[in-house]
Structure 1
């Protein structure tokens, strides 16, 4: 079971994450969306496509752009479409 935790709250939990480049990508249904707010930030990966970001908000604290996902990935990354990965201090345990 992989768990993403920040500021004392579980953000996502799943036995079925996909690991890509060392990052756990959590299935959308395993993510607690109440802690995520869309961000205007985007980045581009040459083989995955354009990533969109979320700001994580827990107990009055913000972690800008601490989660990302690929809403429309390139074919090689189709298996992680809409899956969410975390960084910037979000603890991932498995």
Structure 2
């Protein structure tokens, strides 16, 4: 009777310890998407919201014709930007895989 020993079982304990220490345990959550605050889409969203709010700040012009960009329209655009950003994050998360142990 012969026993075949795999080649990876023949290495010394120090090599196994260094390799085993660098491997993540299987019980951790694995996600493919980054947190929302670390994405460029979040930065673009913030810049767009600030741009809309700054554009709506001057509510009148020098001719006295009234408001150029009303605040209610500005907040409507901010709402549309927010919904668009949330939908894009939802689509990004929908394609990711995550293993949650309850």
TM-score bracket relative to the smaller structure: under 0.3
More strand by share: 1
Larger Rg: 2
More helix by share: 2
TM-score normalized with structure 1 length: 0.20
TM-score normalized with structure 2 length: 0.19
